[in-house]
Structure 1
Amino acid sequence: ICLITTLFSVTLGYSIAYAMVHCHQRQKNYMLTLLLVSFWISILVRTFSWLMLLGRKGLVNGTLENIGLIAEPIAFMRNELGVLIGMIHYMIPYAVLPLLVSMQSLDTRVMDASRNLGATGSQTFWRIYLPLTMPGLVASTLLVFILSLGFYVTPAVLGGGKVLMVAEYISVQLLVTLKWGTATMLAALMLFGVLAMLWVMSRFMKLSTVFGGAAR
C-alpha cells in the first residue's frame, strides 16, 4: 500500500509541480494556495469527508448511479481502494513541495540550449529536465514513503478494520493483545528503516547541492 501510494502521489505531484513552474504567476499563486489549504485542514476532517463522498450512498456513487454508469454502488470503503484514495490525497502536497523547489532552482538556459541544438520537447524532458530534477524526485519519493509507513488515522477509518497497516497493527499489539514484545520489535524495525531512508535522502540532497554548485 505504501509503494502504490508513493507511486501515484509522486507521479501526480511531479505533474502538478511541472505545471506550477511553467504557468503564469497568477495561476501559480492559485495552485499554491489550493495546495497549502490541504495542510490547514485537519486529517480527521479530510478522512471523514472521504467517508461522506465514497460511501454507498455518498456523492460519488450517487452521481454515477444518476448518470447511469453503474447499477449498484461501488464498494469504495472498508477495502484497500478507499485507503489508497485517502492516502494519496493526503500525500500529494508532500510530493509536490520538494519537486517544486527542485524545479524552480533549475537553469532554464540548459533547456533552451537543448532545443537550439535540435532536440525535441520530449528529448529535452527525458534527457535533460528529468535527470536534473532527480534529486528532488528521490527526496519526494522517500518523504512520501516514510510518511506512508507511519500512517494511522486514514487506514483505520477508511479501512474499517479490514486494512491493517503497520502503525495500526502496533497499536493493536499494545492496547488489545498486550504483546508488548511484538509491538516493540515492529516499532524498532520501522524506526531503523525510517532512519536509513532519511540517511539516503540526506545523501541525495548533499549530492544535489554539490552538483548544483558545480554547474553554477
Structure 2
Amino acid sequence: MPTNSNNIELASQTIDEENRRLFMKKMVALFGATTASAVLSGCSVSATKQLATQTVSASKNGELLSEQQMTVLYSICETILPRTDTPSAVEVGCHKFVPHQLQHCHSQQQQNDCIQVINAIDRLAEETFSKTFPLLQPQQQQQILLQIENNQSATSIPKEHFKFLKALIVFGYFTSEAGATQALNFQTVPGGFVGSIPADANTKSWGSRAYY
C-alpha cells in the first residue's frame, strides 16, 4: 500500500515532468524543434553519463575555447541578452556556461560547430568593419549577428549552428538564479490553484527548479 511519502514523491515527479514539457514547448517555439532537442538532449542524465566516458575536447591549456574566442563569446552573450531591468547574459555567467556545457554535455561535432560560428562572427566583423567583434559598437554587433542568423553574410556557416549557440546562451540564462527568479516569475513553494490569471504580452513566464 503506498505511503504518504511515496504519494508526495510521485506528485513531485509529475509536476517536474510537466514543467520540463512546458519548458521544451517554449524552447521549440523560440528556436524550432531540432535546435531545442539538441540543447535539451545534451542535458539528460543518459547523455551526460555517455559523454562522461569520452575524452573531453580541449586546447593545450585545458579549455575548449581560446582567449580570443572567449572574448568574442562574451560579446555575443552581451549582444543577445543585454542588461535591461534584469541582469545581462554576461552578468549571470552565460559566457562561462556555454563552453562548460559544450565540453561536458554535447558531442565533438556540436563543439566544433559552435567554435566555427564564433570564429565566423569574428571574421565577418573584421571583413565588414575592419575590427574584431568585441571592439564593434553595439549596433554593429547586432548587425553582424542578424546577418549570420538571416543567411545574409558571405560565411558558409549554416544559420542552424548559430541558432544552436544562441539556444545554449538562452538556456544558460533562464536556468541561472537571476534568470529563473528575476526574468521569469518564480514561486519556490507552490500555493493554491488559481484558475484564471490576467495576462498580456508583457506577462512573465514561470521559472522552475525542474529546468536544472
Under a length normalisation based on structure 2, what TM-score does the superposition of the two structures give? 0.27
Higher relative contact order (CA 8 A, sep 6+): 1
Q: Which has the higher helix share?
A: 1
Under a length normalisation based on structure 1, what TM-score does the superposition of the two structures give? 0.27
